[in-house]
Amino acid sequence: SKYEKTKCLPTKYDPIYRKKVILMLGNRILKHGKKSLAYQILYRAMKEMKQKTEIDPISVLRQAIEKVTPKVAPQTRTKRTGEGSTYQVPKEVAEKEGRITAIRWLLKASRKRAGQNMALRLSSEFVDATKKRGNAIRKKEEIYKMTQATRTFAYVRESLHF
């Protein structure tokens, strides 16, 4: 009928570890439609993490993502007054959105790292993130400082009319 609930598609998981996080990472690494290559890189990075830390690579991954996940982020708002001024307003980040942002930052940071092998760079960035080092952590701190600086504009959030 007209108001029948749509059926949800079954949640997909990666074939080896059966974790949603790895599926998200694999799809973010993906370039030019080469999914199998993206997963090869990711699985090699997982093996590398296992050798470096001798801890379960999934837990290393989760810790890294958790430590890089932003809690607040600046959001650009324009106040519709005569001058139409723009403000950076601090906004609380939802859990899922934060996780996706963290994954994006980790991948960007690993791509910036020196070296040829993407798997090595990826594993190094994840291990560094668990130890609160690396470019992804620096990015999170930078964003946090920016939101601290714009805390005074938090009142703009309530006074905006959509």
User: Which tens digits make up the pLDDT trace of 2-56?
Assistant: 788 888 888 788 888 889 999 999 999 999 999 999 999 999 999 999 999 999 9
Does the global pTM surpass 0.75?
Answer: yes
| Residue 107 phi, psi dihedral angles, 5° rounding | -70, -40
Higher pLDDT, 102 or 91: 102
User: Residue 49 in contact with residue 25, Cβ under 8 Å?
Assistant: no
Does position 147 have pLDDT exceeding 80, yes or no? Answer: yes
What is the average pLDDT value for the chain, to the nearest integer?
A: 88
pLDDT at 37 (0 to 100): 95
Does position 159 have pLDDT exceeding 70, yes or no? Answer: no
For the chain, domains (ranges, CATH) are 20-159 (1.10.455.10)
User: Residue 73 in contact with residue 63, Cβ under 8 Å?
Assistant: no
Q: What is the percentage of the chain residues whose pLDDT exceeds 90?
A: 62
Does position 161 have pLDDT exceeding 60, yes or no? Answer: no
Please give the Cα distance from 89 to 76 (Å, whole number): 6
Quick count: other Cβ atoms within 10 Å of Cβ 60?
20
User: Residue 14 in contact with residue 46, Cβ under 8 Å?
Assistant: no
